[in-house]
Amino acid sequence: MNTPREKQLTHADPITLEVVRNALVAIVMEMTDNLIRTAYSPIAAEIKDFSIGLLDANGDSIAQAPNGVPMFCADLNATIKKGLEIYAEEGFEDGDIILSNDTETNGQHVNNMAAYSPIIANGEVVAFAAVRSHWIDVGGQAVGSMPGNSRDIYSEGIQIPFMKVYRGGKPDESVLRLIKTNSRFPELVMGDMRAQISACRLGEQRFLDLIKRYGKDSVMACIRRIWDEAEILTRAAVEKIPDGTYEASCVLDNDGLTLDKTIPLKVKVIVEGSDMTIDFSEMSPPVKGPFNSRASGTIARVAFKYLTTPHAPITEGGFRNLKIVCPEGTILSAPANAPMAWFNMAVVSTIDLVLRAIQPAMPDAVTAGSADNIGMSHISGIDPRTGKVFQTFAPFLGGWGARPNADGPSAVVSLVQGDVRFMPIEVQETVTPIRVLEFSLHNDSGGAGKYRGGLGIVLGREVLTDAEFHGRFERTKDAPWGFSGGQPGVVTHSVFRHEGQPDRPAPLKCESLHLKKGDQEFSYTSGGGGIGLPWTRDPESVKRDVVNSYVSIEAAREKYGVVLAQDSFDVDAIATTARRKILTGPVGAA
């Protein structure tokens, strides 16, 4: 009997195979460009919080846009498969558009809305084109539909459970009115929905063009071959990891409601030959606040992708040797009616935990702990220029952990957000009554090490009208970890300022805290952990960090043992040697 890697590969003409392979990626990339150019809200057009994919008639992933959100690489499949169940009797026809943010299937907050369309050739559904995008508001108790104090999913916004908003190319006006009425930003929401539909239509046409040119059987044979090859690559990658059981744990600060109780997260990774199992059985049970999800598949797939074939396109075949264990009743398998507005808090840290668990077996391939905080302070209110509701939306930027042979990236989004961007300052100041006072790197925030953790940011903003502040920060009690003697990153904090008054700490989690015109809020986000003993870092690298204001001259001496001249920043070799001897002694070693 053949082993998984010795099995017979699906036959496909090699020339056609390469054309189809690249065409599939080109299709989802063109869909991406179409969405960006036609979207209405800054979340889609500027921040790019979306993902685009092609899936086969069974809902298995054919291709996914490489510049989308990695966090969505698992749930598009589940969305299509559930729709196939619901419409098993009715079926699909050309021109149908299905919309869903069903939390039981998607496992995330109701803002993430999937739109998909069947691709029909000669009367047969051969594939689906799908776009999931974060909608700016779908109702609920908070502007932006992401309340930090919700106790169930119903207070977070409207749910659209696999509804055909277009049937045979004709819109269902009653459904569209329902959606429009349940948003504080109906023009933006409806515009983004139309952009999603447009991208799906483009994907349909391009896939049908491929079938018309090469034939359905040939194209599908190429897809199956691509899956088989992806499986071979991922199995080869897993086989390089020593067999064993690897575990790791950390805690989240709290769920936003039970402020004095941390949330324990724990994962187990089991490697057996070319198979990997990611086990979430020992995760925290569901919590009262909105940190719940049903996103175990997302977490496992993203982490598995990072560890095996991070540069290869996402396809179904690349996950055949991944097994996921997540019994019902955990924070990652919460009841469908549980609050999930900030589901991503647990998702990001758990992905990082998988990497932390496997690090002893892959020390040359895993980064130290990252900022792991997908939140950011939001400000909302009434814009006096228009009389309409406004909301800021600034994705959290922090430091990633140091790499095994290089410093960590600075001022980047979390592990699961991919190409999500920070909204340009000019756009923020144009569309909201906010003045950005500072946007810079957070000095000394990266964990010290032979290789330094990436830096967080400083974001200072002033409100030009009375407004409401919504705080969303995490992992202040369990800082981004270092490896091999590297120090953890500095955790996030935030302060309020008003002219003539002393700074006062801003709550890391709060809902609708009133700000008066002229109030300022400064967020100082966390850096990544370091790798290696700090006093083994090249002194010239430390000097360069000080010159670039990444590290203070005091931290250079205290953490890295590098003494610099105050005026020229030249390295004092004698003083540095003496200082490093102190750091490597009993105190430094401890």
Tell me: the pLDDT tens digits for 350-378?
999 999 999 999 999 999 999 988 877 78
pLDDT of residue 2: 41
In this structure, are 429 and 572 located in the same domain? no
The stretch 173-178 carries a mean pLDDT of 96
Tell me: the pLDDT tens digits for 432-479?
999 999 999 999 999 999 999 999 999 999 999 999 999 888 999 999
In this structure, are 92 and 106 located in the same domain? yes
Residue 323 pairs in a beta bridge with: 277
What are the two backbone dihedrals, phi and then psi, of residue 436, each rounded to the nearest 5 degrees?
-85, 120
Tell whether 386 is covered by a domain: yes
In this structure, are 495 and 436 located in the same domain? yes
In this structure, are 172 and 214 located in the same domain? yes
Tell whether 237 is covered by a domain: no
In this structure, are 446 and 580 located in the same domain? no
Given a cut of 70, whether residue 318 has pLDDT beyond it is yes
- d(CA 346, CA 360) in angstroms, rounded, equals 23
CB neighbourhood size of 510 (10 A) = 17
pLDDT of residue 431: 92
Domain that holds residue 160: 4-230
pLDDT of residue 3: 45
| Higher local confidence (pLDDT), 240 or 10 | 240
Tell whether 67 is covered by a domain: yes
pLDDT of residue 377: 79
- d(CA 199, CA 196) in angstroms, rounded, equals 5
Q: How confident is the model at residue 524 (pLDDT cuts 50, 70, 90)?
A: very high
The stretch 388-398 carries a mean pLDDT of 88
Average of per-residue pLDDT values in the chain: 93
In this structure, are 482 and 568 located in the same domain? no
What are the two backbone dihedrals, phi and then psi, of residue 466, each rounded to the nearest 5 degrees?
-60, 140
- d(CA 293, CA 286) in angstroms, rounded, equals 9
Tell whether 548 is covered by a domain: yes
Which tokens belong to 476?
A: 């202040």
In this structure, are 200 and 125 located in the same domain? yes
Q: Pick from 230, 258, 284: which residue ends a domain?
A: 230
pLDDT of residue 406: 98
Contact 31, 377 (CB under 8 A): no
Which tokens belong to 161?
A: 């459970």
Scan for tokens 């999930």, then name that residue. 340
Q: How confident is the model at residue 586 (pLDDT cuts 50, 70, 90)?
A: low
Tell me: the pLDDT tens digits for 539-575?
999 999 999 999 999 999 999 999 999 989 999 999 9
Q: Which own/partner pairs from 380-385 qualify as long-range (CB within 8 Å, at least 24 positions apart)?
A: 380/143, 380/144, 380/467, 380/468, 380/470, 381/433, 381/463, 381/465, 381/466, 381/467, 381/468, 382/465, 383/432, 383/433, 383/465, 384/433, 384/465, 385/433
Tell whether 378 is covered by a domain: yes
Given a cut of 90, whether residue 511 has pLDDT beyond it is no
In this structure, are 542 and 527 located in the same domain? no
pLDDT of residue 5: 47
Tell whether 214 is covered by a domain: yes
In this structure, are 89 and 127 located in the same domain? yes
Q: Pick from 189, 205, 230: which residue ends a domain?
A: 230
Tell whether 249 is covered by a domain: no
pLDDT of residue 162: 94
The stretch 209-222 carries a mean pLDDT of 96
Q: Pick from 194, 211, 230: which residue ends a domain?
A: 230
Given a cut of 50, whether residue 307 has pLDDT beyond it is yes
Lowest pLDDT segment from 66-70, 109-113, 230-234, 463-467: 66-70
pLDDT of residue 384: 96
Given a cut of 50, whether residue 590 has pLDDT beyond it is no
The stretch 110-125 carries a mean pLDDT of 96
In this structure, are 513 and 564 located in the same domain? no
In this structure, are 116 and 217 located in the same domain? yes
pLDDT of residue 7: 53
In this structure, are 33 and 99 located in the same domain? yes
Given a cut of 70, whether residue 73 has pLDDT beyond it is no
Tally the domains of the chain.
3
Given a cut of 80, whether residue 244 has pLDDT beyond it is yes
Tell whether 425 is covered by a domain: yes
